[in-house]
Amino acid sequence: MVVEILKNSGYCYGVKNAIEIAFKARKENPNQKIYVLGMLVHNEEIIKKLELENIITINVPYNEYEKEIQKINKNDILIFPAHGHDIKLEKITKARQIKVVDAICPMVKRCQDLIIEALNKKKKVIYIGIKNHAETLLALSLSKDIIFVDYNQPINYYFNTKYDYYCINQTTLSYIQLDSLHNQLKKIIPHLEIANEICNFTKIRQKSLLNLPNDVDGIIVCGSLKSSNTTRLFELAKKRYSNCYVSFVSNTDEIDLLKIKSLQHIIVLGGTSTSMEQLEELKEYLLKLNN
């Protein structure tokens, strides 16, 4: 059995950056209480490592964030995660004199800035994203006038073509599916302005996945179910390699041992919040099964 890790795997810049920011906050503030508003990045292992540093993840539904922030004391530290935050929450943190550390990925921030710029120019903003994903919720929180196009649903919205429309998207979608949605929208709104904001880390990995050797008969996608780009990689693998065994696991306990033993050439991969260490561990585990 041959087991390989997909080219261009491991953490992306935004994930590394957020982790570094959180650990630096602890180093510089050894005695203060530090919280993260939701998952810092979509990787449960990282959340456990943060806990060991006494950095507490506020793990509640999005609509309870405001209530939770009210419980944080003056001078405690609140870290905003890599996928952004509702800007309305900044007012509350300021009023309560909570020290804020922002770990937003610069690419997600750029996307939010572009939305604000388009809104300021009185354009009708169309946002394509995964329903209820953190990045989508936060983008939509910028204005109630943003038109949401659900990535997983047929486009079902009346567009009045007398307006200037500006289309932007969640950073971690499939670039192929996004192209298709753009084409559909352009048929309805020929003058549509498109900002294609798929993050390059995501796109490069999707392209690597689409170019696997012909003899590959197994693909294992490893990561958190909450990770959008990991889920997109899984969907892409299922669609492109319908003759292969394709599985999504969060850890080695979820591996189907019987199935794996019948395979000859396996590719393991993960989204941008899955570390190289996790993939190496998975690879070693699979190779040992063969001995």
Which residue numbers are catalytic? 135
* Binding of ligand SF4 by 185 (CB under 6 A): no
Pairing between β-strand 124-129 and β-strand 147-150 as defined by DSSP bridges: parallel
**Which residue's beta carbon is nearest to the bound ligand SF4?**
14
Q: Which of 112, 174, 247, 272 binds ligand SF4 (CB under 6 A)?
A: 272
Name the segment binding ligand SF4 (CB under 6 A); options: 94-102, 115-123, 194-202, 245-253: 194-202
* Binding of ligand SF4 by 233 (CB under 6 A): no
Q: At closest approach, how far in Å is the CB of 282 from ligand SF4? A: 20
Q: Per DSSP, what are the bridge partners of residue 269?
A: 221
* Binding of ligand SF4 by 171 (CB under 6 A): yes
Nearer Cβ to ligand SF4, position 6 or 216? 6
Positions 77 through 96 that interact with ligand SF4 (CB under 6 A):
82
Token pair, residue 265, equals: 């050439």
How does DSSP assign 25-92, residue by residue?
Answer: HHHH-TTS-EEEES-SSS-HHHHHHHHHTTEEEE-S-GGGHHHHHHTSPTT-EEEE-TT---THHHHH
Q: At closest approach, how far in Å is the CB of 72 from ligand SF4? A: 25
Q: Which of 12, 69, 72, 128 binds ligand SF4 (CB under 6 A)?
A: 12
Q: At closest approach, how far in Å is the CB of 100 from ligand SF4? A: 19
* Binding of ligand SF4 by 247 (CB under 6 A): no
Pairing between β-strand 193-194 and β-strand 165-169 as defined by DSSP bridges: parallel
Q: Which of 199, 212, 263, 286 binds ligand SF4 (CB under 6 A)?
A: 199
The string over 194-226, giving b where at least 16 C-beta atoms fall within 10 Å of a residue's C-beta and e elsewhere, is beebbbebbbebbebbeebeeebbbbbbbbbeb
* Binding of ligand SF4 by 107 (CB under 6 A): yes
Residue of 39, 75, 74 lying closest to 55 (CA atoms): 39
Length of the chain: 291
Note the residues at the interface with ligand SF4 (CB under 6 A). 12-15, 82, 105, 107-108, 171-172, 199, 201-202, 229, 272
